[in-house]
């Protein structure tokens, strides 16, 4: 989602903060809520985590993967830089790779206020605990988080293919939209798409302008996502869904674009006049906005984006 998740109050807070586990396959599960949705792939004695939530909730995710399932998290994928998705990355001292878009890495580094001491990362208390032949009991590094600058980033500009336990995982930037550094993960054998906040389920689409987000870019990116033959999608927030969830988000954005263009073509002389003309279509009335993101804001954004594009 975005900054300010703790300020949600009663509006949608449960959907964002309540943890809910969905075991899709024996070796792949999604932990909904607690910030952004997290996807966990188990392979051998290791695990891949996509979006490790925000600190505080990350610990519970770690407990599940490391203590309950006995796997160590060796790789992370961060779909974008927002704290509710990426904040917990510093809690995975054993991760050998953190896959991010370059803009996400830059933003995480810029936002990190802590000291940067690459020479003294938190050490595990017992390396023996990681011998693969034994049940793994991890000592969580309480208070010993890695500085962001010490994370082993791997930048993904367009596409990287991971092979984990013989399974292909495509990590891709198919365009921006929610921010200017959005990655998705696609599991072709399972026809599963992990979309981050490019897709919301049960909410209207959401962009973060201060992080380079754009409604028009998001619509184009959703077109490309729908070009993948996925059948299930893990949204950034809300429940798991199918292609219809992504199609509806795209439809909202295209309808908004169409309605704003129509108001301009009909002679609305200013941004405020367009805001007065364009109403939320009835078919989207059941979709609440992300808190703090009323429909009028979307109309104003669309108007400005179209103006900047020269439409």
For Zn ion, the closer of residues 1 and 192 by Cβ is 1
For Zn ion, the closer of residues 169 and 198 by Cβ is 198
Q: How far is the CB of 251 from Zn ion (least distance, A)?
A: 21
Q: How far is the CB of 83 from Zn ion (least distance, A)?
A: 9
> What are residue 235's phi and psi, to 5 degrees?
-80, 170
Q: How far is the CB of 54 from Zn ion (least distance, A)?
A: 11
Tokens at 64, concatenated: 């599940």
Tokens at 285, concatenated: 């009335």
Tally of CB atoms within 10 A around 161: 11
For Zn ion, the closer of residues 108 and 278 by Cβ is 108
For Zn ion, the closer of residues 1 and 156 by Cβ is 1
| Contact yes or no for 236/215 (Cβ under 8 A) | no
- For Zn ion, the binding residues (CB under 5 A) are 1, 82, 197
For Zn ion, the closer of residues 197 and 259 by Cβ is 197
For Zn ion, the closer of residues 1 and 193 by Cβ is 1
Q: How far is the CB of 249 from Zn ion (least distance, A)?
A: 14
The most distant pair of C-alpha atoms in the chain lies apart, rounded to whole Å, by 72
What is the chain's length? 311
For Zn ion, the closer of residues 1 and 263 by Cβ is 1
Q: How far is the CB of 218 from Zn ion (least distance, A)?
A: 12
Q: How far is the CB of 86 from Zn ion (least distance, A)?
A: 9
For Zn ion, the closer of residues 35 and 141 by Cβ is 35
Q: How far is the CB of 182 from Zn ion (least distance, A)?
A: 9
The DSSP secondary structure of the chain, one letter per residue, reads --S-GGG-TTSSHHHHH--EEEEEETTEEEEE-SSS-EEEEEETTEEEEE---STTTHHHHHIIIIIIS--EEEEEE-SS--HHHHGGGGG-TT-SEEEE-HHHHHHHHHH--S---TT-PPPPS-GGGG-TTS-------TT-PPPGGGS-EEE-SSEEEEEETTEEEEEE----SSSSS--EEEETTTTEEEEEEEEESSS-----GGGT--HHHHHHHHHHHHTS--SEEEEEES--B-HHHHHHHHHHHHHHHHHHHHHHHTT--SHHHHHHH----GGGTTSPPPTT--HHHHHHHHHHHHHHHT-
For Zn ion, the closer of residues 66 and 298 by Cβ is 298
Q: How far is the CB of 190 from Zn ion (least distance, A)?
A: 24
Distances (CA, A) of 152 to 6, 38, 75: 28, 20, 10
Q: How far is the CB of 87 from Zn ion (least distance, A)?
A: 11
């Amino acid at each position: 989602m975005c900054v300010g998740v703790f300020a949600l109050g009663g509006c949608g807070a449960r959907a964002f903060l309540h943890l809910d586990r969905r075991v899709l396959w024996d070796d792949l599960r999604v932990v909904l809520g607690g910030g952004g949705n997290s996807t966990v792939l188990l392979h051998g004695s290791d695990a891949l985590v996509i979006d490790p939530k925000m600190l505080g909730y990350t610990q519970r995710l770690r407990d599940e993967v490391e203590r309950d399932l006995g796997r160590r998290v060796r790789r992370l994928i961060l779909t974008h830089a927002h704290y509710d998705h990426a904040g917990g990355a510093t809690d995975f001292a054993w991760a050998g790779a953190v896959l991010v878009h370059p803009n996400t890495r830059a933003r995480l580094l810029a936002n990190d206020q802590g000291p940067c001491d690459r020479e003294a990362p938190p050490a595990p208390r017992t390396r023996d605990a990681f011998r693969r032949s034994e049940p793994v009991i991890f000592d969580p590094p309480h208070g010993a988080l890695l500085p962001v600058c010490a994370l082993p980033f791997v930048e993904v500009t367009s596409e990287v293919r991971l092979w984990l336990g013989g399974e292909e995982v495509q990590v891709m930037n198919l365009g921006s939209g929610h921010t200017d550094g959005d990655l998705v993960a696609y599991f072709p054998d399972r026809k599963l798409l992990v979309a981050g906040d490019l897709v919301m389920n049960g909410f209207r689409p959401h962009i973060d302008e201060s992080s380079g987000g754009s409604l028009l870019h998001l619509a184009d990116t959703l077109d490309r996502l729908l070009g993948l033959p996925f059948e299930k999608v893990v949204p950034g927030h809300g429940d798991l869904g199918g292609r219809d969830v992504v199609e509806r988000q795209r439809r909202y954005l295209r309808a908004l674009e169409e309605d704003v263009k129509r108001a301009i073509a009909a002679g609305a002389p200013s941004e405020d006049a367009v805001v007065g003309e364009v109403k939320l279509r009835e078919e989207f009335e059941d979709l609440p906005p992300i808190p703090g993101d009323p429909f009028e804001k979307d109309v104003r954004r669309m108007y400005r984006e179209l103006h900047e594009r020269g439409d």
